[in-house]
Chains A and B, each alone.
Chain A
Amino acid sequence: MIKEAYNTSIKNMQVMDEDSNVDISLIPKDLDDKKLIEMYKFMNLGRAVSNKLLALQRLGKVATFAPLNGEEAVQVGSAYAMDKNDYIVPIYRTHLSLIVRGVPLKSLFTAVKGYEEAYSSISDYHTTPEIIVVGSQFTHAAGIAYGLKYRKIGNAVIVYGGDGSTSEGDFYEAINFAGVFNLPVIFMIENNEWAISVPRSRQSAAETLAQKGVAAGIKSIQVDGNDVLAVYKATKDALESIKQNGKPVLIEALTYRMGMHTTSDDPTKYRPEEDVDAWQKKDPIKRLQRYLISKKIWNDEMEQSMIEENKELVNQAAKDIESVKSEPEKMFDNVYSFIPETLQEEKDEAVKNNFWQ
Chain B
Amino acid sequence: MVNLMLANMVTALNNALDLCLNESSDIIVLGEDVGKDGGVFRVTDGLIKKYGPDRIVDTPLAESSIIGTSIGMAIAGMHPFPEIQFGGFSYIGFDQLAAHAARYRSRTMGNIQIPMVVRMPVSGGVRTLEHHSESPEALFSHIGGLIVVEPSTPYDAKGLLIKAAHSKDPILFLEPTKLYRLFKQEIPDGMYEVPIGKANLAKEGDDLTIITYGTMAREVQKTVEENNISADVLDLRTINPIDESAILKSVKKTGRALIVHEASLSFGVGAEISARIGEKCLYDLKSPVMRVGGFSFPYPFSGDEDYWVPNRNKVLYYIKKLMDS
Contacts and interface: CB of A to CB of B under 8 A. Distances in A.
Q: Do A and B come from one complex?
A: yes
A328 B58 contact: no
Contact of A197 (B35, B297, B311): B35
B92 A342 contact: no
Report which residue of A114, A343, A356 has the largest number of chain B beta carbons within 10 angstroms of its beta carbon.
A114
B32 A198 contact: yes
A134 B61 contact: yes
Contact of B304 (A92, A134, A269, A331): A331
B130 interface: yes
A203 interface: yes
Contact of B302 (A114, A167, A196, A332): A114
A186 B258 CA distance: 53
B129 A64 contact: yes
A169 B304 contact: no
Interface string A43-75: 000000000000000000001100000000000
A332 B36 CA distance: 42
A357 B314 CA distance: 10
Interface string A114-141: 1110000000000000001111000000
A343 B296 contact: yes
Contacts of B307: 326, 328, 331, 356
Contact of A328 (B60, B130, B296, B304): B304
A168 interface: yes
A269 B37 contact: yes
Contacts of B130: 132
B58 A198 contact: yes
Contact of A346 (B58, B62, B131, B296): B296
A337 interface: no
B320 to A, nearest CB: 10
A6 interface: no
Contacts of B35: 197
Contacts of B40: 196, 264-265
A323 interface: no
> Which range holds the interface residue count of chain B?
35 or more
Interface string A300-339: 0000000000000000000000001010100110010000
A168 B62 CA distance: 5
B266 interface: yes
Contacts of A114: 127, 301-305
Nearest to A202: B58
B295 interface: yes
Contacts of B63: 168
Nearest to A60: B127
A265 B314 CA distance: 34
**Interface size for chain A: under 10, 10 to 19, 20 to 34, or 35 or more residues?**
35 or more
A113 interface: yes
Interface string B52-80: 00000011111111000000000000000
A331 B303 contact: no
A248 interface: no
Contact of A270 (B36, B297, B305): B36
B242 to A, nearest CB: 24
B185 interface: no
A203 B61 contact: yes
Given A133-B92, A196-B40, A198-B61, A355 B131 contact: no
A332 B32 contact: no
B47 to A, nearest CB: 14
Nearest to A326: B304
A279 B176 CA distance: 38
B195 interface: no
Nearest to A346: B295
Interface in B197-239: none
A61 to B, nearest CB: 12
A353 B266 contact: no
Interface in A68-120: 92, 111, 113-116
A135 B302 CA distance: 22
Interface in B80-98: 88-89, 92
Contacts of B58: 197-198, 202
The list of the 3 closest CB pairs from A to B, nearest first, reads A114-B303, A197-B37, A114-B302
Given A135-B62, A204-B60, 16 more contacts: A63-B129, A64-B127, A111-B301, A133-B89, A134-B61, A134-B89, A167-B61, A169-B92, A197-B58, A198-B32, A202-B60, A264-B128, A328-B304, A343-B295, A353-B313, A355-B313
Interface of A: 63-64, 92, 111, 113-116, 132-135, 164-165, 167-170, 195-198, 202-204, 262, 264-265, 269-270, 324, 326, 328, 331-332, 335, 342-343, 346-347, 350, 353-357
16 contacts: A114-B127, A167-B61, A167-B62, A170-B92, A196-B37, A196-B40, A197-B37, A202-B58, A269-B36, A269-B37, A332-B295, A335-B296, A343-B296, A346-B265, A350-B295, A353-B317
Interface of B: 32-33, 35-38, 40, 58-65, 88-89, 92, 127-131, 265-266, 295-297, 300-308, 310-311, 313-314, 317
